[in-house]
Amino acid sequence: MVLHLQDVSLRRDESWILQHIDWEIKKGEHWVLYGLNGAGKTALLNMLCAYYFPTSGQVEVVGKTFGKSVLGDQLRRKIGIVSAGFQEKLNPLDSAFEIVLSGAYASIGLYEKPTPAIREKAIQLLHQLGSIEYADRDYETLSQGEKQRILMGRALMGEPELLILDEPATGFDFIAREALLKTVSEISKMEKDPTIIYVTHHVEEILPVFKNTLLLKKGEVFAKGLTTEMLTSENLSAFFEKPVECIWRNSRPLLVLK
């Protein structure tokens, strides 16, 4: 079991942010966490990474049980996360290669001399992600899509058991988004592929590899299960409280208002 949440609730500043969350993810499964802005997605991710602790309920992530196991860095080394907010913490003058290398040490910046094996591993990942051609460029000179691939490479350097992609295509145009989604699909097929949670509020980003979806609404689980059963016109109309139509083409969903 990669993730096990049982009746989890979170209270912050006198308000309930999450309530009665039940969620299990088994090794080898890839999930979408879908919800509108303000649904509680960020709070849930912060809890999975042990930045928040539940007010009530049981949480187990990658074999670490909250309240029983040593968490902090030991837990986070097993979790790779890619988010737009993380980019702000990086040194914009570090090269793309240096940022990927830093993932082996779970550090912001590269402060240790990488071994030949670590350097070779980073080069291999850069090839797999189609990023080797700009490996020596400063991070600040990269396009948004290139930056996200580098962050994915950094996250994969530690061979995480769980990879969280938090709104990775935010602000992308159609071409850049599809190029990034192709990279996500390729990661899911890697030899040591981690379990992936793809966080989004755009159904058109949901790839066929994500067989399961959790719909989060106002801090509660609205529904969870097979993606094809979650993303139906009837279910999503109830979720949005508006009549919508979910159209499936090439095993990808598209949402329109009726």
Averaged over successive runs of 10 residues, the pLDDT of the chain (258 residues) comes to 96 93 96 95 92 93 80 78 82 93 80 88 94 96 93 92 94 92 92 90 96 98 98 98 96 95
Q: What is the reported pLDDT for 77? A: 82
Considering the domain boundaries, does residue 93 fall inside one?
yes
Considering the domain boundaries, does residue 223 fall inside one?
no
Considering the domain boundaries, does residue 147 fall inside one?
yes
Beta strand segments in the chain, E = 3-12, 15-25, 31-34, 56-61, 64-65, 79-83, 162-166, 195-200, 212-217, 220-226, 244-249, 252-257
Q: pTM score, two decimals?
A: 0.93
59 close to 47: Cβ distance less than 8 angstroms:
yes
Three-class DSSP category at 22: strand
- Count of domains observed in the chain: 1
Considering the domain boundaries, does residue 233 fall inside one?
no
Q: What is the reported pLDDT for 48? A: 92
> Which domain range does residue 101 map to?
86-159
Q: Are strands 79-83 and 212-217 parallel, antiparallel or unpaired?
A: unpaired
Considering the domain boundaries, does residue 141 fall inside one?
yes
Considering the domain boundaries, does residue 148 fall inside one?
yes
Q: Residue 195 corresponds to which amino acid?
A: T
CA distance 92 to 176: 21
Q: What is the reported pLDDT for 86? A: 77
219 close to 39: Cβ distance less than 8 angstroms:
yes
The Cα-based distances of 147 to 60, 139, 155 in angstroms read 31, 7, 12
Considering the domain boundaries, does residue 105 fall inside one?
yes
Considering the domain boundaries, does residue 68 fall inside one?
no
